[in-house]
Structure 1
Amino acid sequence: MAIGALTPAQDPTTHHEVLIEFPDNRLLIDLCGQFDRNLADIENRTGVQIVRRGNQLAVMGEPGAQKQAVEVLEALYDRLESGREIASEDIDREIRMGGGEPGPAPSSGEQLEMFKGGKVEIKTRRKLVEPRTDAQKAYVLSLYENELAFGIGPAGTGKTYLAVAVGVSMFIGGHVDRIILSRPAVEAGEKLGYLPGDMKEKVDPYMQPLYDALNDFLPGKQLAKLIEEKRIEIAPLAFMRGRTLSNAFVVLDEAQNATAMQMKMFLTRLGEGSRMVITGDRSQVDLPRGMPSGLADAERLLKGISGIGFNYFTARDVVRHPLVAAIIEAYDADRPGA
């Protein structure tokens, strides 16, 4: 272990203070963060108090919270020792997932490349993406394990972001030849026909979240070239009719706004060598009143079929602003029958 061993008087399960010694003072500075903001974040999230004493950190608090904070600090210091930086999302991930069991290793060599020491890592051109909750981790592994996978849950849980990251990783690794991203161009209160411009200009605002995700993972010039060459396609769901999508990584986003017939049409586009991901939020259906959602229909019909993975998220998996989780929980509690 990179961090000095705890002395008997520092056992976090029985004592009120734990002293952790760090051998590299420069890395300790990075661990603490500018104006100790990383320590403050860990304090706020775990309920402990952390005091720096030379090249040691003293952790004070309840034994359970103490143990969690120590594990988070150790994991973050190990990250720095491996030459990587610490961002706020890294602290969030370690607090959410720190101390958990690694779980079973994936079976194929392709998956083993992104499974290291119980951690899942997705390599893209611009960044290394790591799941921040156990549900996200299970979802990513499901994307590699299954040819067809569903990600169902509220906004802000990373369903689309992680799916696009896996698609980019598989594309640059040569496992697929194309990436195809789609979503229904369903009006959520606004009328599509009144928007200015040609059809592409009308539907592009609906596709913007997909462009945003791609821009996070690929350099701008490379992305523009791949789109121009049709090796990456972003199109409304209606444009998928009549196509067979072979050797492609295909994502249908906002699938709750697909009708049952559209969903069947899309699912039957799956071709040889392809993988398909369906993401959606059952609480945000924008279809006309009385029209059933194709996502709920597919969930009902396809559950239990081998090779199809269903992955579910809750408000606890929201990785946006903390208020988003509180808002989702408040609306869920207000639903009839909740």
Structure 2
Amino acid sequence: MVQGPTQGARNANSTGKGNGRGKGKNAAQDQFNEAGGASNDNANRTMTIAEAQAAVERALPTFDGGSFKLGREDITPTPAQKKIMHEARNKDMVFVNGKAGTGKTLFSTYMALEALAQGKIDRICLATPAVTADEEIGFLPGDLNEKMMPHVRPMVETIDELIGKPLRERLMQAGVLEIAPHAFNRGRTYKYSYYLLDECQNASARQLRTSFTRIGKGSTFIYMGDDAQNDRTDQKRTAFTAYMERFSNPAYDREIGQVQVPKTDCKRHPLILKMMERGDDLPIPELEGHKEQANTAGQVIREATPAPKP
């Protein structure tokens, strides 16, 4: 359980942000230790929210508007990635659509940790639609976190890169970092929380609609997906795309942001970008229930293969 009052931290001036930050893994470990992570007396003590916020504030790499250090790399955001950060700071909901490796998870997760470090939120929630998990989660071994960890691992590993695994584990122990599967969302309201929903291209319309109604005071919801990687092969149009189109109405401009990240922002192995440019990362028609055709620009168009007649 999370311990300690939070209102003071939430209202505190964050002008001191950045002191002692961004100094690598040793600094992250030092901040974890300061929060009680390595002390024999405090080894089993749950962090308070204020301690968690302070530890993250010190461990999170400093972003000065130009770049920040992540391991051995200097990360310089592209215009689309900067837009993710801008929209996350200024909107209640943000939809981010882009190919694998284009920074959706990294920059969305960074913004969640930044909000925690600044005392704006008390909790970060990680979720994915987990196509089979919603229906079969009760049959998987382990507790809820163990069952859902494979589905949220990309976000968890990103957090490990940003603030270190020991601190991330303490945040989970304290309930400040939570895995929150869709199947357990009904009836919940997330206040002063950052809710990160990944793999949204696999979400059903009901799952997305249910999540929209869970947002509470002081919260930010970010929906990340790659509409070209839809695992629900029975759908020609995903709910993720449909809701992005619906919320593009100017009536939502002040509350809902949308970011389309181009495939050229891919920072993974050059081979992956080459596959994307050629369209070779798309489904194989006869194996995945789609048929493909190339348009005059050489782009691949996918259509659902008609169901065989009985």
What SS class does the counterpart of residue 208 from structure 2 fall into? helix
Which of 214, 228, 249 is equivalent to 1:283?
A: 228
Cα deviation code 1:160-190 (max 9, x no counterpart): 11101110111011111111111111259xx
The 8 Å contact of residues 143 and 163 in structure 1, kept in 2 or not, is answered as yes
Q: What is the alpha-carbon distance in structure 2 between the residues aligned to residue 173 and residue 123 of structure 1? A: 19
Contact 2:148 2:179 in 1 (8 A): no
Corresponding residue number in structure 1 for 2:27: none
Contact 1:207 1:235 in 2 (8 A): no
Q: 2:264 aligns with which of 313, 316, 319?
A: 316
Q: In 1, Cα distance between the equivalents of 2:119 and 2:177?
A: 14
Q: CA deviation at 1:250?
A: 1.1
User: Distance between the aligned counterparts of 1:123 and 1:265, measured in 2?
Assistant: 37
Alignment of 1:1-338 (within 5 A): 119-120=65-66, 130-187=75-132, 197=142, 200-290=145-235, 293-304=238-249, 305-306=252-253, 307-331=255-279, 333-336=299-302
SS in 2 for 1:335: strand
Describe the shift of the 1:198–1:143 C-alpha distance in structure 2 as closer, same or farther (beyond 3 A): closer
2:227 aligned partner, one-letter code = R
Distance 1:325 1:193, change over 3 A: farther
CA contact (8 A) 1:131 1:137 kept: no
Query: Are 1:122 and 1:169, in contact at CA under 8 Å, matched by a contact in 2?
Result: no
Return the offset for 1:269.
Answer: 0.8
- C-alpha contact 2:129 2:207 (8 A) present in aligned 1: no
CA distance in 2, matches of 1:123, 1:238: 36
CA drift at 1:330 = 1.6
CA distance in 1: counterparts of 2:145 and 2:82, whole angstroms: 35
Kindly state the Cα deviation for residue 120 of structure 1 after the two structures are TM-superposed.
Answer: 4.6
What are the Cα deviations for residues 38-65 of structure 1, in whole angstroms up to 9, with x where unaligned?
xxxxxxxxxxxxxxxxxxxxxxxxxxxx
Could you say if the C-alpha distance between residues 327 and 194 of structure 1 is closer, same or farther in structure 2, counting changes exceeding 3 Å? Answer: farther
Aligned AA (1:230): G
Distance 2:194 2:73 in 1: 19
How many angstroms apart in 2 are the aligned matches of 1:324 and 1:262?
Answer: 30
Q: CA deviation at 1:203?
A: 2.6
Q: 1:226 to 1:336 in 2, by over 3 A?
A: closer
- Counterparts of 1:158 and 1:185, CA distance in 2: 21
Question: Is contact 1:262–1:294 with CA below 8 Å preserved after alignment?
Answer: no
Secondary structure in structure 1 of the residue aligned to 2:130: coil
Alpha-carbon distance change, 330 to 205 in structure 1, aligned in 2, over 3 angstroms: same
Whole-Å Cα distance in 2 between the matches of residues 142 and 120 of structure 1?
Answer: 17
Tell whether the 8 Å contact from 1:259 to 1:292 is kept in structure 2 after alignment. no
Letter in 1 for 2:245: R
Q: 1:291 to 1:239 in 2, by over 3 A?
A: farther
Residue 55 of structure 1 aligns with which residue? none
1:237, distance to aligned residue in structure 2 (A): 2.2
After superposition, the C-alpha distances for 1:305-328 in whole angstroms (9 at most, x for unaligned) are 122111001211111112211111
Work out the CA distance in 2 between the residues paired with 1:214 and 1:226. 11
Task: Assess, with a 3 A threshold, how the Cα gap between structure 1 residues 238 and 220 changes in structure 2: closer, same or farther.
Answer: same
1:222-276 alpha-carbon deviations (Å, 9 max, x no partner): 2212111111112322222221000011111111111011101101111000111
Structure 2, unpaired ranges of 5+: 1-21, 24-61, 283-298, 304-310
AA aligned to 1:299 is: M
**Deviation string, structure 1 residues 3-39 (Cα, Å, up to 9, x no partner):** xxxxxxxxxxxxxxxxxxxxxxxxxxxxxxxxxxxxx
Separation (CA, whole Å) in 1 of partners of 2:243 and 2:130: 19
Cα gap change, 1:179/1:335 in structure 2, threshold over 3 Å: closer, same or farther? same
Once residues 127 and 268 of structure 2 are traced to their aligned partners in structure 1, the CA distance between those partners, rounded to angstroms, is 23
Provide, for residues 185-207 of structure 1, a one-character-per-residue CA deviation record: whole Å limited to 9, x for no partner.
1259xx97886556543432112
Which protein shows a greater Rg? 1
**What is the TM-score normalised by the length of structure 1?**
0.58
